[in-house]
Chains A and B, each alone.
Chain A
């Protein structure tokens, strides 16, 4: 496979993990998050700092990065317990700006220069090939799908959906909103951390601008365009929103304009996403 195609597919894989992980927070537990790139950044930066500054081996660094991202995710999920949805949307935007600001301005995190020389995975002392990396990425995508599925059909998933539908009713039925909101933030951010490790290791260099607010918007758009709460939807959304710009390369300067228009039209005509309730793709599948 050509390098271009491999890189593209790895990017799609990383974004699939991101959109599925955000889907657990937004689609399952109903908590609006417009700051998912912050969790992605925390995963990537933890991994970068642990490997380059403290020379911790790859696998251990990856493990600790996920632990760190999960803990930060639970901490940053705390506002969801006290504020209503509009506040949460703005708070998570704020989290994105603050996290990006911190990574961008403290020398410990490389400042505006970013962090380079992040290790690529090795096997028996040799760097693995890009195709092997691609394979590992899609193994992790599969793992993310399995986790999403198990969570969705488990009692924990049902409890989350109940909170999403009616928090008060769920609460009086003995489902603790605190536990399940934080659980969804924990799982969602852990998986975002995983995507961060993949990204940092594959790129070898990260800077705070890679995780800016428009990235969070794009991840949320993948979830919403595909269909929040479904599993096929976010996967489809990630493929669509990453691959579409590649097809539109000849009209490159209209790309973002069309993206904006697409978001508006999708929300007006397909508010539940392609795979959601009344979504065109889902109705076609059901018919056939």
Chain B
């Protein structure tokens, strides 16, 4: 039972990680609280669903979600965030919330307000491994999350692009002085981070078998709590925080029966982190 809940928690945590790591990446580069990241996630879910309905290939659907998510993220960066860089962060934050609202509503106007689902029976198989039940949809989510997170690990830790990202996130002026093109890097960071948010949308849509316009509401704000716990611009902090909060949520509902709504748990945990470990987060990530 406990192990089963932990596996379920890891599945959810993996999806959180795909969203939160992109968010941490963007925060590191632009110092913007990118609420519209969850808009990318909604768009990714719809594109993935329709690609799947047409091609019947989940891999193609995943690639389409990532490609369109990427384009959408880059568009938001170019048309909304770049003109606002010189203003205070609250301006970008409100613009970001505006983009998020407009995206969700645009999706609702185009695709309708109702829940859309994948064709029945595609991921219905179940695997029994030593008393634990893993559904096929869960397996799909786990495999894709592991692949995607490995890709993120490889790109951020093993390539020059990853190194340049770290440099810009620590000190943009200094990075520019050693010939890192920060404009180009912002573009690439958004393209890269948004692809995984799009993929996360498709994975959540297939896992819960429902795609609907408001599906981004909860991830939009929960992912913010996750990156605070992880240390804002710290990609791997965001990863561990996602896994931890995914498992914590599942356990608190499935095992401990905590009466609080599951979606506020991440924020309660965040408050504890801010209260008891402020020096770990504060000193490192205060705006310069």
User: Which residues on A are within 8 Å of B, measured CB to CB?
Assistant: 26, 32, 34, 79, 82-87, 89-91, 93-95, 97-98, 100-102, 104-106, 213, 217, 220-221, 224, 253-254, 256-257, 259-264, 267-268, 271
Contact = CB atoms under 8 A, between A and B. Distances in A.
Tell me whether chain B's interface is mostly helix, strand or loop, or mixed.
helix
A102 B259 CA distance: 10
A260 B278 contact: no
Interface string B70-86: 00000000001001100
Contact of A271 (B91, B221, B268): B91
A94 B265 CA distance: 10
Nearest to A254: B109
B274 A79 contact: yes
Q: Which 3 A-B pairs have the closest CB atoms?
A: A263-B98, A260-B102, A260-B101
Tell me whether chain A's interface is mostly helix, strand or loop, or mixed.
helix
Contact of A83 (B83, B88, B93, B282): B282
B206 to A, nearest CB: 27
21 contacts: A83-B274, A85-B90, A87-B232, A87-B285, A89-B33, A89-B93, A90-B224, A90-B228, A93-B221, A98-B268, A106-B259, A220-B94, A260-B98, A260-B101, A260-B103, A264-B80, A264-B102, A267-B84, A267-B95, A268-B84, A271-B87
A119 to B, nearest CB: 29
B278 A83 contact: yes
B94 A263 contact: yes
A259 B99 CA distance: 10
A263 B109 contact: no
A79 B272 CA distance: 12
B205 to A, nearest CB: 22
Contacts of B267: 93-95, 97-98
Interface of B: 27, 31, 33, 80, 83-84, 87-95, 97-106, 109, 221, 224-225, 228, 232, 259-261, 263-264, 267-268, 270-271, 274, 278, 281-282, 285-287
Nearest to B264: A101
A102 B84 CA distance: 36
A271 B225 CA distance: 27
Given A93-B221, A260-B100, A267-B84, A104 B261 contact: yes
Contacts of B261: 101, 104-105
Given A93-B267, A220-B94, 7 more contacts: A26-B90, A79-B274, A82-B274, A106-B259, A260-B100, A264-B98, A268-B84
A262 B98 CA distance: 8
A220 B93 CA distance: 11
A259 B100 CA distance: 11
